[in-house]
């Protein structure tokens, strides 16, 4: 089940720089684990912003919520979620 | 080069129904041709709306503009375009 | 899987009154069938508006999309969809 | 008398973590007392957000206001209230 | 129980002028009946607009909904409703 | 001359609690003096918010401005002002 | 008593052109009468729009409402009104 | 050449009060110098807000920019600028 | 003197197609005349929209207004105007 | 490939003034290097704001993203990006 998720990240200037770097490292590792599992299907940078647009493929709303709120950078994110479904014209299995 | 495109379609109630059906057929065939070419990489329905969210992979802004404005249903669409780029954490070639 | 759905209905003044009445009858019967099946769990009127707020309980995004776009009054609706999940504090099974 | 209430919670990063945990515990206990009394009829998490969507069943606007502003986390909430009423098509007593 | 209600009226230019005048007469008579009953406590014009701001005093959300949707000009109105309650500082019974 | 005024109050969490209590006491006393004088005709709480909706009856725009900006809590308020006038249908002197 | 008023004019394309010209002539004559009387103190075009920004100097909200709604082009206008008052720094009588 | 300028002023509560008073004095003196020169043609308070609406009469966009950004309170302002021009109906030279 | 102008064009579907084509031809010729004169310095298409972003270089606000409202397609345009001025860092004369 | 970019700069009052001056110097030098290279084709001040409107000419979305996020003042910027393409009516090579 697919969802379009946009994450805007805003780490305050006064936040400890080293702690931020470490959080980003953990975030990246957590992301790659989820991408390999197929749950976090796609991620792209939004040009000019500290933000990404992602496609999640999960079994339920609850699973998506749990994945998002346990991200290391979640406390600094504004998240919007839009449920998607297969487009009848698509010729690819991947767009289910 | 990737773009997130959202297309909201609004065909007025008074528009000729048969003409609309024919336009949708041509649209579908044009879409599948573009999807096969790799230009229109992904398409998904937005749940509850006559709208789609798509990923385009084109060589230039101009190419994207030409693809969009020549769609058979373009006169009935509201289109928003958001430029994307590869996320440094992604492990897949596909998210370039 | 739960979704909060808001439906704003706007039937144009020039639309045939009898046809509108008939559509509303079919809509009501379709609604009650879905409510009995447990798919359309709750419905409430928004005070002062021709609109409702509803809770759907469906198996997937695709099922929700299909239920919504096949409603007899769908062509006159503006629909917004917000995915929900169980709140950890809730003591009732029903709020899953 | 029913109301749809959305509560967005935003506890500042610099707020004392232990005090926050304690507030959440008291909030949970207060919530469950209200849910048992039937005043706070439903609660759901909004996917991807520290927010809930709730249905209150109270005797008056004043009672709703008093319930909301005395919640332990109220000082950190942005609250929106939308009055609802029974939908004529509903077959369940519960949607009064 | 008090509600602040704003009604924006927009009668299309092509609507039959005589029918509009008659609707306004019925509306006025219905309004005055409700004002005498104490249900429609106050009404004021918004300067420069075909709109009013009103205070309703009703027994329930459902009663307010019924009063509003049966107004003769309701089909031409955009209505917003905001629930109010007594302010603790007020010295007048009337502001209950 | 009547005005609809909405005041949203936001006292920062870090503001001295005792000083805030004292300001609210002075505000209340100032409010009641104005209500008795007939200048601040009505006040109501907005349900679920630290905000009020009020009706002022003043001789001029300047008088309204002076009343508002000298309120003890004014530095913490966001104020919106909407000029009103008598509705031709009203049967009460009070709605002038 | 001063008010800043913005009027956006939108005469539909299908409106009779000659009738529109005549309305504009009457509007201009009515405007100049009001400008001479000192009630419509200033008027300016908004660059690139069929809209004006004006300063009215009237005795009451009701007088302003009556002046606006009796303008010949009023049925085609969207009007916004913002109450002003003398700025304490101004050195000119005119900015009262 | 005329411009409508709105300035919303927001001096943070923690800003040194004496420094603020001094800045306001310099601002007032700078304003009056500009008003006498004819550059800052009008200024009015917006009722209920720490904001003004002004009319500037300058030789170029650049001159307006320089006047605004060198105001003592500019760092605390949110400024919006709307270019105006003479309305063909105006009978006064002043509204050029 | 430079202005950023955005023009959104919306020709209704029911507008005579041949008349539209002719208007576009006249518009193009008028545009090129203005571009050659240096008044309409730049024009670009907004990707995916029937809209352009332009830079005008004119002597006054009034001249800009006259250029815009006499464009053949002006009745179908929504126009926004933003005054610009030279950036102090620019090394090119052209960005004056 | 052209993009319209708007950058709103907001350096907090409490940020070290000398450090800010130094950042601006580096920003200016970086800007001029990019302008000379032809990547940052145009820049203009937005009148009355600490903001600029710019035209970038880059080879890809990714290049634009890299140019923007490595600007010295980027952490203080809100950036919006709008893809452009050549307008068919333009007579100049420069507007490609």
| Contact residues, chain B, for A80 at CB < 8 Å | none
Which of F62, G59, G52, F6 lies closest to H46, judged by CA?
F62
pLDDT for the residue H14? 86
> What end-to-end distance do the CA atoms of chain H give, in Å?
7
3-class DSSP state of C93:
helix
pLDDT, tens only, H28-69? 999 999 999 999 999 999 999 999 999 999 999 999 999 999
Q: Tell me phi and psi for residue C4, to 5 degrees.
A: -90, 125
Which of C20, A43, A27 lies closest to B13, judged by CA?
C20
Q: How confident is the model at residue B39 (pLDDT cuts 50, 70, 90)?
A: very high
Q: Tell me phi and psi for residue I22, to 5 degrees.
A: -65, -45
Residue D69 CB: number of other CB atoms within 10 A? 16
| Contact residues, chain A, for C67 at CB < 8 Å | none
Any idea how long chain J is? Answer: 96
What whole-number distance in Å separates Cα of residue A51 and Cα of residue B84? 10
- Written as six digits, the tokens of A96 are 């289910």
- Spell out which chain D residues touch chain E, with contact meaning CB-CB distance below 8 angstroms: 1-3, 60-62, 64-65, 81, 83-86
* Residue matched to tokens 């009215």: G56
Residue F64 CB: number of other CB atoms within 10 A? 23
Q: Domains of chain H by range and CATH?
A: 2-84 (3.30.70.1060)
* Distance to chain G for I73, nearest Cα, Å: 13
What whole-number distance in Å separates Cα of residue E50 and Cα of residue E8? 6
Contacts of H95 (CB under 8 A, 6+ apart): G42, G43, G44, H86, H87
> Is residue I68 within 8 Å of G48, Cβ to Cβ?
yes
Q: Tell me phi and psi for residue J73, to 5 degrees.
A: -90, 5
* Distance to chain A for B2, nearest Cα, Å: 9
What whole-number distance in Å separates Cα of residue A48 and Cα of residue B84? 9
What whole-number distance in Å separates Cα of residue E50 and Cα of residue D91? 39
pLDDT, tens only, I64-84? 999 999 999 999 999 999 999
Interchain proximity D45–C94, CB inside 8 Å: no
Question: Long-range contacts: C21-30, Cβ < 8 Å, 24+?
Answer: C23/C72, C23/C73, C24/C72, C24/C73, C26/C72, C27/C71, C27/C72, C27/C73, C27/D89, C28/D89, C30/C71, C30/C72
Q: How confident is the model at residue J94 (pLDDT cuts 50, 70, 90)?
A: low
Interchain proximity E75–C13, CB inside 8 Å: yes
In sequence order, what DSSP letters do the residues of A14-77 get, joined into one string?
TS-HHHHHHHHHHHHHHHHHHHHHTSEEEEEEETTSSEEEEEEE-S-HHHHHHHHHTSTTGGGE
Mutate to test the interface with H, among G89, G91, G92 (most CBs of H within 10 A): G89
pLDDT for the residue D45? 97
- Written as six digits, the tokens of I14 are 């029911």
Closest-CA residue of chain B to A86: B44
3-class DSSP state of H12:
coil
pLDDT, tens only, G20-73? 999 999 999 999 999 999 999 999 999 999 999 999 999 999 999 999 999 999
Q: Is A57 exposed, middle or buried (0-12, 13-18, 19+ CB in 10 A)?
A: middle
Q: What is the pTM of this model?
A: 0.95
* Distance to chain J for B21, nearest Cα, Å: 31
Q: How confident is the model at residue E95 (pLDDT cuts 50, 70, 90)?
A: low
pLDDT for the residue D17? 93
Q: Tell me phi and psi for residue G80, to 5 degrees.
A: -120, 140
DSSP secondary structure code for residue F71 in this structure = S
Q: How confident is the model at residue G96 (pLDDT cuts 50, 70, 90)?
A: low
Q: Tell me phi and psi for residue H15, to 5 degrees.
A: -70, 140
Which of F48, D56, D95, D59 lies closest to E1, judged by CA?
D59
pLDDT for the residue A91? 86
What whole-number distance in Å separates Cα of residue F11 and Cα of residue D82? 25
pLDDT for the residue F57? 97
Judge whether residue B94 has pLDDT over 90.
no
pLDDT for the residue A94? 65
pLDDT for the residue B91? 86
> Is residue I49 within 8 Å of B79, Cβ to Cβ?
yes
Closest-CA residue of chain D to E58: D60
Beta strands in chain B (DSSP E): 2-9, 40-46, 51-57, 77-86
What whole-number distance in Å separates Cα of residue J18 and Cα of residue J13? 12
> Is residue J64 within 8 Å of J54, Cβ to Cβ?
no
Closest-CA residue of chain G to H33: G91
Answer positive or negative: Cα dihedral of D9, D13, D15, D18: positive
What whole-number distance in Å separates Cα of residue D5 and Cα of residue D82? 6
Judge whether residue I30 has pLDDT over 90.
yes
DSSP secondary structure code for residue J94 in this structure = G
Least-confidence region, from D6-10, D37-41, E60-64, G10-14: G10-14
> Is residue B83 within 8 Å of A47, Cβ to Cβ?
yes
Interchain proximity J45–I2, CB inside 8 Å: no
Which of E89, G61, E94 lies closest to F34, judged by CA?
E89
pLDDT, tens only, F35-92? 999 999 999 999 999 999 999 999 999 999 999 999 999 999 999 999 999 998 998 7
| Contact residues, chain G, for H42 at CB < 8 Å | 55, 90, 92, 94-95
* Distance to chain H for G52, nearest Cα, Å: 8
Beta strands in chain A (DSSP E): 2-9, 40-46, 51-57, 77-86
As for the ipTM of the complex, it is 0.92
- Spell out which chain H residues touch chain F, with contact meaning CB-CB distance below 8 angstroms: 13, 45, 47-50
Judge whether residue A96 has pLDDT over 70.
no
Closest by Cβ to H75, choosing from J13, J48, J49: J13
pLDDT for the residue E14? 86
Closest by Cβ to A46, choosing from B84, B89, B95: B84
């Amino acid at each position: 089940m697919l969802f379009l998720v946009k994450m805007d990240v805003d780490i305050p200037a006064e936040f400890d720089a080293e702690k931020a770097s470490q959080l980003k490292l953990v975030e990246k590792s957590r992301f790659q684990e989820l991408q390999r599992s197929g749950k976090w299907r796609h991620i792209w940078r939004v040009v000019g912003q500290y933000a990404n647009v992602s496609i999640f493929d999960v079994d339920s709303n609850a699973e998506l919520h749990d994945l998002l709120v346990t991200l290391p950078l979640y406390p600094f994110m504004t998240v919007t979620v839009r449920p998607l479904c297969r487009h009848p014209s698509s010729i690819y299995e991947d767009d289910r």
